[in-house]
Amino acid sequence: MYCYVQGQELQSTISKITQEHKIIPGTKFSIIPPEGFRMEPIIKGLMMNEGGAKITTMTLSKTMFSNVKNTISEEKFNSYGISGTKIERFLFNNKEAIWVSFSGKDTPKIEMNNHLLYIELEQGKGAVINAKYQSTLKNILDKDIRKSMLSIIHDPKRKISDLDELGITLDLGSYGLKKEGGFWGGTVNFRGDGTERPLSNKDFYYTITHAPTRYNVEDKKQFVINYNYKETHSKYDLIKPIAIDDLEGYERYFSRKNDKGQITKCYALILLFDDQNYYALQGIIDSKTITKQEFDEIKKQFRNLAISLKKM
């Protein structure tokens, strides 16, 4: 529950978990999304389905949050060239919180409204919830965005896995894959664990990437062909459309043979498009001779694993 009356000062606010709350992937936060918004792991927040608005989250160290509390002011925003800033202090879940509202231009033609909600977490740490939307949408969005921000819940006991960071679930354990290394730049790596499960060969490497396309992709098939371009010097055996959990894309498999006609490298790729982002699932065996039958089995199990993917 929360208490806010638009146009009046914020009151003491209590936010409690409800059935409407949704976990923000890759974070310990839950929120009641505004209508027409979807979770977006890349920004650790939400985006409006039709564009033009987003809500992001970020945790702050004890020092950073203390600095915000002690130095934030309208004068400081003015020094950044931001005028008309409104700052309100109130209690959120019986702890000090700060609400900041201002507007500014992202480009000469696009003005954006911004809301910042600074809240205190455990042990003096803090967080900031940032909503940003085109000013032309104010009458449509502002009230719902404010309510959504004030519904935020932080669960310090929630454990975050690497797949949480990617915003998906995937049945890796059943296929004999174990994590290698950390989570970096939207990518996590796995390797066969040597058991008797379908992709457990220790020479099998598996990578999952979630990243923005960075531009509007008109020819998605060509995007997949060009993906990881160094591999396209191999002969590709197959490229065809695939749909998984409402995501559409292409699967592609290719292999490289030595002078004796033996397969010494095989590569599998399933790339799924998610609006202006994509998920790339890649599997590779390198520097080991395998038979065509073994390659066919890898392709089969690689595809079966991909089909288990579910967005959070």
**Residue 83's pLDDT is what?**
78
Which pLDDT band, with edges at 50, 70 and 90, does 114 fall under? very high
Indicate the domain borders of the chain. Answer: 22-154, 162-311
- Mean pLDDT on 191-218: 89
Its sign, for the CA torsion 58, 64, 69, 73, is: negative
- pLDDT per position as a tens digit, 48-98: 988 789 999 999 999 999 999 999 999 988 888 887 899 999 999 999 999
Instruction: Report the pLDDT value the prediction gives residue 305, as an integer from 0 to 100.
Output: 95
CATH number given to 22-154: 3.40.1000.10
What confidence score (pLDDT) does residue 141 get? 93
Q: Return the bridge partners of 86, or none.
A: 101
Beta-carbon contacts of 71 under 8 Å, excluding residues fewer than 6 positions away, are: none
Q: Taking Cα atoms as reference points, which of 131, 122, 123 lies closest to residue 54? A: 131
Question: What pTM does this model have?
Answer: 0.78
pLDDT at 8: 46
Q: What does DSSP assign to residue 49? A: T
Predicted confidence (pLDDT) at residue 21 exceeds the cutoff of 50 = yes
- The CATH number assigned to the domain with range 162-311 reads 3.40.1000.10
Mean pLDDT, residues 286-309: 89
Of 72-76, 105-109, 122-126, 224-228, the least confident: 105-109
Nearest to 163 by CA among 186, 147, 143: 186
Q: How far is CA 14 from CA 31, 92, 98, 129, 150, in A?
A: 13, 6, 14, 16, 8
Instruction: Decide whether 22-154 matches 162-311 in CATH topology.
Output: yes
